[in-house]
Amino acid sequence: MRVALGVEYSGWNYAGFQRQWHAPAIQNELEQALSKIAAEPIELKCAGRTDAGVSATGQVIHFDTTKERSERAWVLGTNTNLPKDIAITWAKIVPDEFHARFSARARRYRYILQNTDYRPGILQKGVSLYRGEYDVEAMHDAAQILLGENDFSSFKSAQDENPHAMRNVHFINVMRRGRYIIFDIQANAFLHHMVRNIVGSLLLVGDKSKDKDWLKMVFEARNREIAGPTAQAEGLYLVHVTYEDHWQLPIRPEDMGPLWI
């Protein structure tokens, strides 16, 4: 039996999604909890290996098991054995051909920053803090340069082992919601730190340190060293993974982003 699960988690207490031997990781906790419900060792695959400090409302995983359990049992039973900052949101028995990573057609991330002079008292780790004035319209306009299938080497971290940096960005929207500035970006796939590096460069446009022409030059140069700094991890969320309709995976409205957006 192959089972797909929806997962949400707060990532700031973990060294990332991928299994770690010497640090806490989301995958470790999920596999331990699932193994208890299945009464056998479980090894899972995910749609996107989020970095340390990055959270998710719409992560998707799958695993194979010889044990038959109801979809409800996979949700409720696994949640009983998970820490409070990780939760299964849905379960679906899927064909063996389904793969959480390779069947995905798009990933959507949102980056949320609090734009105030004071630090957050409630969402201390749920958002990043950036003081000063930012021109949201200028950032949104400049971001449209990045649409389509292009080489994103300028926004690829040195640790990224992908052989090429071609990615297809479907949309980037920058908007303000009260004290928050939200960057909403979807692509077929992402490079390591790609979203945070794009946000870091757009913030230079937003505070008038740089302009749209500079971002275009950086993009075309394919040189990470001349782009903006990497934005903080705490504001980044994997909010949705898109699959073809024939898989019939559940879609919750809240998967499209954190509650306060």
What are the angstrom distances between the C-alpha of 158 and each of 24, 163, 170, 203? 23, 12, 24, 21
194 and 156 in contact (C-beta within 8 Å)?
yes
Q: Is 51 a catalytic residue?
A: yes
Give CA–CA dist 118/184, Å, rounded.
24
Residue in 77, 56, 72, 74 with CA at minimum distance from that of residue 64: 74
Give CA–CA dist 74/99, Å, rounded.
18
CA dihedral 132, 226, 112, 208 (to 10 degrees): 30
Write out the catalytic residue numbers.
51
